[in-house]
A and B are shown apart, each in its own frame.
Chain A
């Protein structure tokens, strides 16, 4: 294909920082690897549930949460490699149409954790077109600062499900490792959301 492809100018950490500036009581699910470090680098939060495993499961985890808590907005931050491994989950989300649900893919077109090999998005696979094809209300690819600014309002308030494929430069940011004990992450998340008495086990 001879279509001119825009140059990637955005850097992942500032993108995540900018998006999270508007955060209030949103619930966050992060896909394994860099998106987890990115979100943790902005600030740790009781309502951040960091997935350190289960590659391909971030969007589905977010969907289950969004269906259980329709009054709270759920944001999934994940990477392009993780998203590709669970691509079918986008179709499942689109069928459920959770209005409180946003997916943000930090797409550096690389598998960052294993040595920066190219992913399918580097070779023309268009995640936002896939999201549109399955029926997301809004699905955009974000290339510029201006597009990002415009998207932030939608991420927090547009009728969901909404999807953003944010093209970010491949970079090797310092790792910010948050809590990794799954039980601790579960307990602190549910404590805020449900109160101690309302969850068992």
Chain B
């Protein structure tokens, strides 16, 4: 069996429950669609669809201020919309956990996705976010759990980048 035949989302969702994630914010995205679906149908999680990704960074910061844990889900392009908003996370040292699905990285067919895809990790790191990248679906759940520990217990901003090898959705924009 090819490692790509297995989907990581159910296990990640279980980790969300274990860590007491109460808010999830996202702009709909193909690569994270199954996870978003699981969060949407989970009564313990308030999931919020955004008009633009930067809103999600602010919302998750607010969730922590209000005593809840949140997770921010975005496509790599969305990272480029959040860089300034992440300065609040850095200045306030707010525990922050994000999952990023990659475009413009692995077997990308749309040239326009490539500039941002190639800049995603650098933009996150320049914003003070610790970045871990998963190349195989089997890696994702454990990495998510470790990074949530780092975020919520270590009090840091952390992102798990799910590579396009895992999320590849073919030709579509």
Contacts and interface: CB of A to CB of B under 8 A. Distances in A.
Do A and B have CB atoms closer than 8 angstroms in the complex? yes
Interface of A: 32-33, 36, 51-56, 81, 84-87, 111, 113-115, 117-120, 175, 177, 180-182
Contact of B112 (A53, A84, A85, A115): A53
A103 B72 CA distance: 31
A52 B112 contact: yes
Contacts of B49: 117-120
A201 to B, nearest CB: 18
B41 interface: no
Contact of A54 (B30, B36, B112): B112
Given A120-B49, A181-B111, A182-B112, A52 B173 contact: yes
Given A32-B173, A111-B28, A85 B52 contact: yes
Nearest to A118: B49
B5 interface: no
A114 B28 contact: yes
Given A32-B173, A53-B113, A180-B110, A114 B77 contact: no
A115 B33 contact: yes
A53 B116 CA distance: 10
24 contacts: A32-B112, A32-B173, A51-B112, A52-B111, A53-B77, A53-B113, A53-B173, A55-B77, A56-B52, A56-B81, A81-B28, A84-B52, A113-B30, A113-B172, A114-B29, A114-B30, A115-B33, A117-B36, A117-B49, A119-B49, A175-B171, A175-B172, A180-B111, A180-B112
B51 interface: yes
The 10 closest A-B pairs by CB, nearest first: A53-B112, A117-B28, A52-B112, A84-B51, A111-B28, A114-B30, A114-B28, A85-B52, A115-B33, A114-B29
Contacts of B51: 84-85, 87, 120
B59 to A, nearest CB: 15
Chain B CB within 10 A, most for which of A33, A85, A86, A180: A85
Given A53-B110, A53-B112, A87-B51, 17 more contacts: A33-B173, A51-B112, A52-B110, A53-B77, A53-B173, A55-B77, A56-B52, A84-B51, A84-B52, A113-B30, A113-B173, A114-B28, A120-B51, A180-B111, A181-B111, A182-B111, A182-B112
Interface in B153-173: 171-173
Chain B CB within 10 A, most for which of A53, A87, A182: A53
Nearest to B36: A117
Contacts of B116: 53
B97 to A, nearest CB: 21
Interface in B120-173: 171-173
A32 B29 CA distance: 14
Contacts of A182: 111-112
Interface in B44-63: 49, 51-52
Contacts of B29: 114
B42 to A, nearest CB: 16
B123 to A, nearest CB: 15
Contacts of B173: 32-33, 36, 52-53, 113
A177 B113 CA distance: 16
A175 B109 CA distance: 15
Contacts of A53: 77, 110, 112-113, 116, 173
